[in-house]
Chains A and B, each alone.
Chain A
Amino acid sequence: SQTIHQWPATLVQPVGSPLSLECTVEGTSNPNLYWYRQAAGRGLQLLFYSVGIGQISSEVPQNLSASRPQDRQFILSSKKLLLSDSGFYLCAWSHPGGGYGYTFGSGTRLTVV
């Protein structure tokens, strides 16, 4: 069966520090991968998605970047965090053929202080 792992679960970082959040998927090949941010426990904002290794599409201009160094690994990064980067970050995957929705990770609560 397929599983998705996301870590860390919580993170407190000072303004100006770098960020690296990691997401890995097991049990499937060539998944579509997504990073979402959720502010104040409400709407889901799509940040990045990837349909293959090294292929990253950005949905909104921001202080963050994403990379996909391996087929089932998706990384969200920042060189210098801003206060506004605080939020709940969710990784998700879907079948490359689509049609079955997304499976989400358990999320990372990022607080920038």
Chain B
Amino acid sequence: GQQLNQSPQSMFIQEGEDVSMNCTSSSIFNTWLWYKQDPGEGPVLLIALYKAGELTSNGRLTAQFGITRKDSFLNISASIPSDVGIYFCAGQRNSGGSNYKLTFGKGTLLTVNP
């Protein structure tokens, strides 16, 4: 089946530093999404990307949909303690019918030291 390779698995950074994480796939996706999961909560959608080459920002977050449609990255600028959590990438293929299953990466665990 389809797999997403998300890296790094974990990051330990100092408050104020910038963060970058990415996902790659051997398959093409029509949509790339980035989620954040706070401890003990469900993942929450941060950014959705719908077009190859698209670059989208949401506050201190910036994400890009790779030109080949097989990769995406997420950058966080000037990290703060509340950025702590697990970040998941997800790819979606419009495979027809009424089911559009997401393929998730294994997550990047981010720790921010104040």
Docked pose: A44 CA to B106 CA in angstroms = 7
Interface residue range, chain B: 20 to 34
**B59 on interface, CB distance cutoff 8 Å:** no
Residues of B within 8 A of A105 (CB): 42
Known: A44-B104, A51-B98. A101 touches B42 (CB 8 A): no
Q: Are A41 and B102 in contact (CB under 8 A)?
A: no
Residues of A within 8 A of B40 (CB): 107, 109
Q: Looking at the complex, which of A68-76, A78-86, A90-98 is the stretch in contact with chain B?
A: A90-98
Interface residue range, chain A: 20 to 34
Q: Are B100 and A98 in contact (CB under 8 A)?
A: yes
Shortest Cβ distance from A92 into B: residue: B42
- Could you give, for residues 89-102 of chain B, a 1 whenever the CB lies within 8 Å of some chain A CB and a 0 otherwise? 01010100111111
| Option from A6, A44, A49, A107 in Cβ contact (under 8 Å) with B99 | A49
Measured CB to CB, the closest approach of chain B to A87, in angstroms, equals 13
Which 8 A/B pairs are nearest by Cβ-Cβ distance?
A98-B100, A104-B42, A43-B106, A101-B33, A51-B98, A96-B98, A44-B104, A107-B42
